[in-house]
Chain A
């Protein structure tokens, strides 16, 4: 009798504590995920009641007859490499300088972080104005370039805004991992006659590796999934040259209503993101040092 009551109350607790999260996760993540996997083998258009099974045709089509997707993929890879390296380098430099006892330290942290709180969509629109009108008014060969008009400059335009938006966020993470380094270690190295460069290279950098793991992970994830900024700044143009994978999937499904094909692209996208995440976390974790 007592056992039964305990058992049923245990069920009640399981249901109230874990139930809601489990149900919403199931409905919004698990079901769409497997449904998407199924759609990727069909030629469904999103509306029709008839869903035709086409096997691997969508996947074959994507890899053999869809240069736009492959181009968007190539664009995203190039963008990710540049975006990740530049935001991390700038973020780290800012953090390194801002851990020094400067008078303007707190104000500067606020300034560098601020762009991040504004969403990518609005930032893209703001920068559209900067590139189209603001830069022109500054003048000079660099600023007078047709920034959003050519393929090469549009690419760099997105990179610039991405750096402006995200370096400050990575800076905050680097500041906290720099702050976690025991100052006794640095003092000891200095006493032993290590130069400032040697301290940075052999003490600070290895100990900042956990922060690097986090920052690389975030920057890769942001840049590989680039969407909002892309949509509002260039809309993938000119001539689809700056179309990210996410935007390509979106257009496939919601502009030309090929849900089956879009789903196949979405699955490919997922597989790539998953592989990158696993590889990257594994690679940086192995370089972390315990204090």
Chain B
């Protein structure tokens, strides 16, 4: 639709309504932030108002009690590693499946697409058994492995749709120049796949970073905890101790909110892109 229309007076009304709605959307963040720096007593007597005094020590206490630096580190390693490996192995697989549509590859792709409807809850019980048989229970490696397997179908599906639109002429030119298949893929095809790779990374990052269920089944030791698991454990321990729980929650959501605000252009575009394919 045309964006260069003149600003009509009815828009002003829409604008006001949207701003009110937007404020309603932000109210939970307001409650979270103002109460995170209050004394416990003040949270109970005055949860809506501005804090009478700022008690920043709530944050230092939550910082150590949630073992925030460690949980943040674990989440970061797991998210980055899973993303990098998923993109690498799935873009290679998608490329091969499109360019060499053998019976095996078509069947495998069919299995991937079919598996996209399987909810994780339908796999989780035997998955625990499989992971412990592989001997990687309670390790970050084991969790990354699970993300690779469970993330492969949708990732291959998205990349597969994109590779089909990459013109084959470019590759043929590369082949004449004497490049190997690896060379053609990494030097010619992979760079062309960049837009869909950005989308895939965004979707997988939001999923893996926020995931609670899978890590809660695979990781048990406190030093392995990711942010959602650490928050769950912390919240269970300090229920109703809002002066600790709230700053803990602020710390928990801060990384992903900052990431979003910094990258929102790519994130919003990437999601619109990915959904057209889905």
Q: Contact residues of A with B, CB < 8 Å?
A: 13-14, 16-18, 20-22, 24-33, 35-36, 39, 46, 94, 97-104, 107-122, 125-127, 129-130, 133-134, 136-138, 164, 168-169, 172-173, 175-179, 181, 183, 186, 210-211, 214-215, 217-218, 224-225, 227-228, 231-232, 245-246, 249-250, 253-254, 259, 262-263, 266-267, 269-270, 273-274, 277-278
Decide if B96 touches A32 in the complex (CB within 8 Å): no
Answer whether residue B244 sits at the interface, using C-beta atoms and an 8 A cutoff: no
Which of A100, A108, A173, A228 has the most chain B CB within a 10 Å cutoff?
A: A100
Q: Lowest 5 A-B CB distances belong to which pairs?
A: A28-B149, A119-B210, A176-B272, A17-B96, A35-B126
Cβ 8 A contact of A273, one of B43, B117, B130: B117
Decide if A228 touches B14 in the complex (CB within 8 Å): no
Decide if B249 touches A115 in the complex (CB within 8 Å): no
Answer whether residue B146 sits at the interface, using C-beta atoms and an 8 A cutoff: yes
Interchain CA distance A25-B118 in the complex, whole Å: 12
Q: Least Cβ distance of B143 to chain A in Å? A: 11
Decide if A183 touches B153 in the complex (CB within 8 Å): no
Instruction: Decide yes or no: A22 and B15 within 8 Å by CB, A138-B48, A246-B121 being known contacts.
Output: no
Interchain CA distance A250-B129 in the complex, whole Å: 15
Decide if A117 touches B121 in the complex (CB within 8 Å): no
Answer whether residue B1 sits at the interface, using C-beta atoms and an 8 A cutoff: yes
Known: A18-B108, A28-B145, A227-B121. 7 other contacts (CB 8 A): A25-B111, A25-B152, A27-B130, A28-B123, A108-B19, A231-B212, A269-B121
Decide if B15 touches A102 in the complex (CB within 8 Å): yes
Which of A108, A118, A168, A225 has the most chain B CB within a 10 Å cutoff?
A: A118
For A109, what are the chain B residues with a Cβ–Cβ distance below 8 Å? 268
Interchain CA distance A134-B93 in the complex, whole Å: 50
For A217, what are the chain B residues with a Cβ–Cβ distance below 8 Å? 278
For A136, what are the chain B residues with a Cβ–Cβ distance below 8 Å? 47
For B217, what are the chain A residues with a Cβ–Cβ distance below 8 Å? 254
Interchain CA distance A16-B276 in the complex, whole Å: 30
Answer whether residue B275 sits at the interface, using C-beta atoms and an 8 A cutoff: yes
Encoded as 1 (CB less than 8 Å from any A CB) or 0, chain B from 47 to 60 comes to: 11000000000000
Encoded as 1 (CB less than 8 Å from any A CB) or 0, chain B from 70 to 95 comes to: 00000000000000000001101101
For A246, what are the chain B residues with a Cβ–Cβ distance below 8 Å? 119, 121
Cβ 8 A contact of B119, one of A263, A269, A278: A269
Cβ 8 A contact of B118, one of A13, A29, A108, A122: A29
Interchain CA distance A22-B118 in the complex, whole Å: 17
For A102, what are the chain B residues with a Cβ–Cβ distance below 8 Å? 11, 14-15, 18
Decide if B130 touches A32 in the complex (CB within 8 Å): yes
Decide if A21 touches B246 in the complex (CB within 8 Å): no
For A118, what are the chain B residues with a Cβ–Cβ distance below 8 Å? 210, 253, 256-257
For A215, what are the chain B residues with a Cβ–Cβ distance below 8 Å? 275
Decide if A24 touches B148 in the complex (CB within 8 Å): yes
For B22, what are the chain A residues with a Cβ–Cβ distance below 8 Å? 104, 107-108, 111-112
Decide if A125 touches B152 in the complex (CB within 8 Å): no
Encoded as 1 (CB less than 8 Å from any A CB) or 0, chain B from 134 to 171 comes to: 10000000000110111011001000000000000000
Q: Least Cβ distance of A18 to chain B in Å? A: 5
Cβ 8 A contact of B117, one of A110, A116, A178, A277: A277
Answer whether residue B28 sits at the interface, using C-beta atoms and an 8 A cutoff: yes
Answer whether residue B206 sits at the interface, using C-beta atoms and an 8 A cutoff: yes
Decide if A137 touches B14 in the complex (CB within 8 Å): no
In chain B between 249 and 263, which residues have their CB closer than 8 angstroms to a CB of chain A?
Answer: 249, 252-253, 256-257, 259-261
Instruction: Decide yes or no: A18 and B245 within 8 Å by CB, A117-B260, A129-B32 being known contacts.
Output: no
Encoded as 1 (CB less than 8 Å from any A CB) or 0, chain B from 227 to 262 comes to: 010011001000000100110010011001101110
Instruction: Decide yes or no: A28 and B108 within 8 Å by CB, A176-B276, A227-B121 being known contacts.
Output: no
Interchain CA distance A125-B273 in the complex, whole Å: 31
For B28, what are the chain A residues with a Cβ–Cβ distance below 8 Å? 115, 126-127, 130, 134, 164
Instruction: Decide yes or no: A115 and B25 within 8 Å by CB, A16-B92, A102-B18, A263-B126 being known contacts.
Output: yes
7 CB < 8 A contacts A-B: A25-B153, A94-B18, A104-B18, A125-B249, A129-B242, A164-B25, A179-B1
Interchain CA distance A245-B121 in the complex, whole Å: 9
